[in-house]
């Protein structure tokens, strides 16, 4: 089970094209390539799914049970209202790292509440792509 599931929620497929002043110019492919590389360096495979469909993410979390050692998730807007994701993540037994590219607490009020934080092992926000590197490093240290 030395693999990590990396999940991206809605609209993150547009990374690099959408509000670059907030999210930067790297594309989702860049993010995934980097994460794959970082994971490999520490001996993990990385599987990736981006979806704008809440149900796809829930399904992916379910199939991660017993197959992946950890989940790294940037749930996008679902962070703020998807109790289904909350319940899905609660069924996963390994570490769950919540990542946000920007700092939600410095943006609109509805972005200040995370419904998945209570079931995440840890949360990392505001570091851009670096946040993913930190998350993967965290996984490697927690899992071992």
Q: Applying CB under 8 A, which part among 29-37, 38-46, 117-125 lies near its own copies?
A: 117-125
Under rule CB under 8 A, residue 18 binds its own copies: yes
Among candidate residues 8, 48, 68, 100, the one labeled active-site is 100
CB of 47 to its own copies, least distance (A): 18
**Which one, 6 or 125, has the nearer CB to its own copies?**
125
CB count, 10 Å around CB of 84?
Answer: 15
Residue 142 binds to its own copies (criterion: CB under 8 A): yes
Binding-site member from 2, 13, 27, 34 for its own copies (CB under 8 A): 13
Segment lying near its own copies (by CB under 8 A), choices 30-38, 39-47, 98-106: 98-106
> For residue 144, what are the contacts with CB-CB under 8 A and spacing of at least 6?
none
- Are the C-beta atoms of residues 132 and 85 closer than 8 Å to each other? no
* Dist. CA 82–CA 39, nearest whole Å: 28
Whole-angstrom distance, CA of residue 137 vs CA of residue 60: 22
DSSP lists the bridge partners of residue 97 as: 72, 122
81 is catalytic: no
Catalytic annotation present for 62:
no
CA angle 15, 23, 19 (to 5 degrees): 80
- Cβ atoms 68, 60 nearer than 8 A: no
Residue 11 in the binding site for its own copies (CB under 8 A): yes
Near its own copies in 56-85, by CB under 8 A = 56, 58-59, 62, 65, 76-78, 80-84
What positions carry a catalytic annotation? Answer: 23, 100
């Amino acid at each position: 089970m030395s693999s990590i599931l990396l999940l991206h929620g809605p609209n993150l497929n547009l990374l690099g094209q959408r509000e670059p002043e907030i999210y930067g110019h790297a594309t989702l492919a860049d993010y995934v390539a980097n994460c794959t590389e970082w994971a490999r360096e520490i001996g993990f495979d990385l599987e990736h799914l981006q979806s704008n469909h809440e149900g796809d993410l829930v399904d992916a979390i379910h199939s991660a049970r017993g197959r992946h050692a950890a989940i790294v998730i940037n749930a996008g807007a679902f962070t703020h209202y998807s109790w289904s994701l909350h319940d899905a993540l609660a069924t996963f037994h390994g570490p769950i790292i919540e990542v946000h590219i920007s700092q939600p607490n410095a943006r609109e009020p509805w972005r200040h509440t995370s419904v998945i934080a209570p079931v995440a092992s840890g949360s990392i926000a505001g570091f851009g792509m670096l946040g993913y590197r930190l998350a993967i490093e965290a996984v490697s240290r927690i899992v071992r």
